Amino acid sequence: MTMLPETTAKKLGLVIDLDTCVGCQACATSCKEWNTGGYSAPLSDIDPYGRDPHGAWLNRIHSYEVGDGGASRTVNFPRSCLHCETPACVTVCPTGASYKREEDGIVLVDPDKCIGCKLCSWACAYGAREYDYIEGVMKKCTLCIDRIYNTNLQPEDRVPACVRACPTGARHFGDFGDPESNVSKLTKARGGYDLLPQMGFKPVNKYLPPRPKRDRVTLDDTSAAADRGPVSAEGSKLERLFQWADKMLTR
Amino acid sequence: MHPAYSVIFFTTASGAGLGLLVWLGLANAFSYLPADASFVLISVALALALLSVGLLSSTFHLGRPDRAWRAFSQWRSSWLSREGVAAAATYLPAIIFAFGWYKTGEGAGIVAIPGLVMAVLALVTLFTTGMIYGSLPTIRQWKQALTAPNYIVMGLASGAVLLTFLLALFATVPVWAIWLAIVSLTLAWAMKTLYWMAIHNEEPRYTIGEATGLGRFGEVRQLDPPHTAANFVMREMGYSVARKHANKIRRLSVLTAFVAPAVFTVIMLVAGPVLNLFLAALAVLLAGIGLVMERWLFFAEAEHVSMLYYGRERA
C-alpha cells in the first residue's frame, strides 16, 4: 500500500560520518555482495567485464573536493536510500510494490509486485533507486532487513552489511525514534544533518559534517608554508648524511 | 530525463484521442454533430483506438508489462494509478454514447448524458497525465503550474484538428469546428510558449552545495564519480541529448504542431470539400509530428535534482 503510515514505531536508519570516511568502497562492495544473494537477489550487472559495465548497486560512494587552496579538502560521500519519513518514491508507486514499513520505517520494494515503470526513481531526489535492467524491477537499499532481524547470525552481525564492513567506523546503525539511541546521540553531538531538507521528504539517515581542520600548516597559504624552508637538520649523524645526500641529489 | 519513446507516443496518441472525446461529447450536447450515426461510431472508435494504442504502447516501457494491471490499485496516492483508472473509466460512457447513437440515430436526451460524462472523464484523464509530471518536485521543469494545463490544451488542440478531419470525411466541415481548431491551436501555442518562458526565466532551485550539505565549507566540485561507467541514475536522470538544440527543436515543433495546422485550418474556411479533406489530413499529420517533438523536448529539457550528486552544479 502506497499510503504512508502516520508514524512508525521505530525509525531505523544510518549515520554516515563524512569526517572519518576514507572512500575505500568497502561498504559498497559488501552491500553488493550481501544483497545480490539476499532480499534483493540478484543485483544484476550488465556487460560486467566489457566496455560499458553497469549494474544495480544500492550504495554508491561519491567523492567531492570542497573549498579552495590550503583550505580545500576531499570529502568521500557514501550515498544510499535515506529511508525518508515522507518518501515520494512510495506515494507515486502505482502498484503498491513500494511501501514504508509501519514497524520500523524501512522503505522497501516488493519485487513480485513491481512493474518496473521507474516513476519512483524519478520521484527520489537522492538517486537512491536503482533499476535492474535484467529483472525488470526496481531495487533499493533494504537496510539489510535480512540481516538486522536474522537470529541465525551472531548478534554483532545483525547490522547492515555496509556498517559491518566499514573499517573506519564511519557508518552507524540504529533507531532515530529513540532519543537515547547511539545514532540519536551521535547526530546531536556532531551536528548531523539531512540531505536537501528543503524538499520535505524528511530523510531518516543523517550525515555528520567533516570536523574543522586542526593542522595549521595546511590552513596557511602555500607561499608562507614554502618560506619556512625544509625542516632543520637535527638528529643523528646518519640522518644528517641522508639530508646532505638529498641536497646533493636535488642539484 | 531520458525520453521513454513509448511514453512519448502514448501521451501524444492518447492525448489526441481523449481530446476528440471531449469535443464529441460537448458538441453533441449542443446538437452540433452531423445527424449521422456512422460519423459518431467511427469517431468514437477512432478516439478509443488511439487511447488503446497509447495505453498499450505505454506498457512497453515497463520492466514487467505482464503485471501492468496492478497499476490500477494505488489511485489513493499515485497520479500514475489515477491516470490508469481514469483512462479505463472513460471507455464505459464512450461505448454507451456510441451505442445510444447506433440505436436511436441521434444524440439528444438520454444519449447526451453519457456523452457529457465521457467528455468529463476524458478531461480528467488528460489532467492526471499532466499531474504525473507536474507533481514531481525533483524536476524543476516539470513541477510547474503550467505542466498539467499544457497536457490538457495539447490534447484538446490535437483532438480538435482530428475532429475537423473526421467531419471533412463525412460532410462539409462546419464553421464552428474550423474555429474550434484554430482557437484551441492558438491557445495551445500560447500556453506552451508561456511554459517555455517560465522554465527559461526561473533560476535553478538547488545547488551541489545544498545537495551534499557541504556548501558551507566552500565551493563543491565532483572529484570522482562512484563508478567508471554511467549507472542507471545517470542514464535515466542525466539524459541531456539535444538539450543544446532546444531552441531549434522548439521552433520546429511550434511550426509543425501549431502554426502549420492553424494555417491549413484557416484555409479550410474558404476552400472546397475535397481540398478541405486534404488540408485536414495534412494538419492531423503535422500536429502529430509536432507534438511528438514537443513531448520529446519536455523530457530532454527536464533536469533531475539527483544529478547534483554527479557533479552538476545547479538543478
CATH at B27? 1.20.1630.10
How many whole angstroms separate alpha carbon B268 and alpha carbon A170? 72
Number of folded domains that form chain B: 1
For residue B236, the chain A residues in CB contact (below 8 A) are 118, 121-122, 131
A134 touches chain B (CB under 8 A): no
For residue A135, the chain B residues in CB contact (below 8 A) are 63
How many whole angstroms separate alpha carbon A26 and alpha carbon A32? 10
Residue B120 belongs to domain spanning = 5-310
For residue A67, the chain B residues in CB contact (below 8 A) are 217-219
CB burial of residue B208 (10 Å; 0-12, 13-18, 19+): buried
ipTM: 0.93
Q: Is residue B192 part of a domain?
A: yes
Tell me, what DSSP letter sits at residue B204? P
CB burial of residue B134 (10 Å; 0-12, 13-18, 19+): buried
Residues in chain A, pLDDT under 50: 225
Dihedral over alpha carbons B293, B299, B300, B306 (to 10 degrees)? 180
Contact B257, B287 (CB under 8 A): yes
pLDDT of residue B244: 78
Beta strands A45-46; A206-208: pairing state: unpaired
For residue B221, the chain A residues in CB contact (below 8 A) are 64-66
Q: Is residue B19 part of a domain?
A: yes
Residue of B nearest to A72 (CA): B218
Q: Is residue B293 part of a domain?
A: yes
- Out of B81, B137, B236, name the one closest to residue A118 (CB): B236
Contact B191, B148 (CB under 8 A): no
133-172 of B, contacting A, C-beta below 8 A = 135-139
How many whole angstroms separate alpha carbon A53 and alpha carbon A45? 7
Q: Is residue B315 part of a domain?
A: no
Q: Is residue B253 part of a domain?
A: yes
Residue carrying the nine cell digits 552507524: A172
Q: Which domains does chain A possess?
A: 12-208 (3.30.70.20), 216-250 (no CATH)
For A51-85, the pLDDT digits (tens) are: 999 999 999 999 999 999 888 999 999 999 999 99
pLDDT of residue B127: 98
**Cis peptide leading into B114, omega within 30 of 0?**
no
How many whole angstroms separate alpha carbon B182 and alpha carbon B258? 9
Q: Is residue B254 part of a domain?
A: yes
Q: In the β-sheet with B220-224, what is the strand arrangement from edge to edge? A: A73-80, A59-66, B220-224
pLDDT of residue B135: 97
Are A66 and B68 in contact (CB < 8 Å)? no
Cell of B156: 484538446
Beta strands A12-17; A206-208: pairing state: parallel
Tell me, what DSSP letter sits at residue A117? -
Are A122 and B310 in contact (CB < 8 Å)? no
Q: Minimal Cα–Cα distance from A232 to chain B, Å? A: 34
Q: Is the dihedral of CA A144, A145, A146, A150 positive or negative?
A: positive
Residue carrying the nine cell digits 510558449: B193
A188 touches chain B (CB under 8 A): no
Are B233 and A121 in contact (CB < 8 Å)? yes
pLDDT tens-digit profile, chain B (315 residues): 998 888 898 899 999 999 999 999 999 999 999 989 999 999 999 999 999 999 998 888 899 999 999 999 999 999 999 999 999 999 999 999 999 999 998 888 889 999 999 999 999 999 999 999 999 999 999 999 999 999 999 999 999 999 999 999 998 899 999 999 999 999 999 999 999 999 999 999 999 999 999 999 999 999 999 998 999 999 999 987 767 788 899 999 999 999 999 999 999 999 888 999 999 999 999 999 999 999 999 999 999 999 999 999 999
Residue A139: HSE in the Cβ half-sphere, 13 Å Cα cutoff: 27
